Chains A and B, each alone.
Chain A
Amino acid sequence: MSRRFLTLLFAGILFGAGLALSGMTDPAKVIGFLDVAGHWDPTLAFVMGGAVGTFGVGLLVWRARTGGRGWFGHALPTADTSPIDRPLLVGTTIFGIGWGLSGFCPGPALVNFGALRLEALIFVPAMAAGMLLARLVFGADRD
């Protein structure tokens, strides 16, 4: 395996370990975080805070030191500056409904899929079908 692939494998391992350690893979915790009007459990805000802070500050420091160069000939990514449009608003609304219904977003769903948990074995193929549907029917496939 190339050094680039090993690096990406390591990055994925960190990401997945973080999801599991943080509690994001337990839908009860996620629903508890979203249940602001009920028994609100704000713990998962620290997951987003820790992740955004580490990535954001890490990027700033990295950029300052290298002028924006990444590894293996890649530049560090920059922000998507395209305007806020209808697909963004409609799509994230649909995603929010699905997330609220299930307590699964894509990363934790995949980790639970890897752990062969029944709910994820149903959810992940359905999510893949939704992605294909979005592309084939609505012509939507943004990065």
Chain B
Amino acid sequence: MEISASTVLPALAGGVLIGLGTLIGAAASGIPPGISGLCAEILRSAKGEVAWRAVFVIGMLAGGLLIFQFHPASASFHPQKSLTVMAVAGVLVGIGTRVGGGCTSGHGVCGIGLGSRRGFTGTLLFMAVAMLTVFIVQKVGGATP
């Protein structure tokens, strides 16, 4: 358990920025901008539904790169798993977010922020399942540091 002002402040500030981006995105589109939903609609490529979502996602990539560039402490990146595991996990995240209708931002930030029972339930469930998954992987595999 490691918790200190130097790690909590960036986390909190980052969270506030995510919340502001979500709020402005929601106001300018009329839709809660959950990232998995944006991706799915871009992939579906229905007319008139792609451009604004692509603009938001491009902004997101640019915002991340800006921080990596000018706040190097945030650029730390420690891959945990083999590329095979990443590929399998990617497919699971893709299927799961579409069947379940949201991800950390869609169910978590947007859903809970809007006071949605579905968002709240989904978030509790995927957090619990992810924690259990990490627990099992550590116990069985013991591969991660």
Q: Which residues of A contact B (CB under 8 A)?
A: 1, 4-5, 7-28, 31, 34-44, 46-56, 58-59, 62, 70-72, 74-82, 84, 87-107, 109-115, 117-119, 122-135, 138, 140-143
Residues A141 and B134 in contact in the complex (CB < 8 Å), given A12-B62, A14-B21, A107-B60: no
Q: How far is the CA of A34 from the CA of B127 in the complex (A)?
A: 8
Number of A-B contacts (CB under 8 A): 514
Taking A79-B114, A115-B65 as given, write out 6 further A-B residue pairs in contact, using a Cβ cutoff of 8 Å, ordered by the A residue number.
A26-B77, A36-B135, A76-B26, A82-B118, A99-B130, A115-B64
Q: How far is the CB of A27 from chain B (nearest CB, A)?
A: 5
When the two chains form their complex, are residues A80 and B116 in contact, meaning their CB atoms are under 8 A apart? Answer: yes
When the two chains form their complex, are residues B62 and A48 in contact, meaning their CB atoms are under 8 A apart? Answer: no
**B-side interface residues, number (CB < 8 Å):** 115
Q: How far is the CB of A120 from chain B (nearest CB, A)?
A: 8
Q: How far is the CA of A15 from the CA of B135 in the complex (A)?
A: 30
Contact pattern, B 1-26, Cβ under 8 Å of A = 1, otherwise 0 = 11100011011111111111111111
Is B61 on the interface with A (CB-CB < 8 A)? yes
A20, A62, A75 pick with most chain B CB within 10 angstroms: A20
When the two chains form their complex, are residues B100 and A90 in contact, meaning their CB atoms are under 8 A apart? Answer: yes
Q: Which residues of B contact A (CB under 8 A)?
A: 1-3, 7-8, 10-37, 39-41, 43-44, 51-52, 55-68, 71, 74-81, 83, 85-105, 107-119, 121-123, 125-135, 137-138, 144
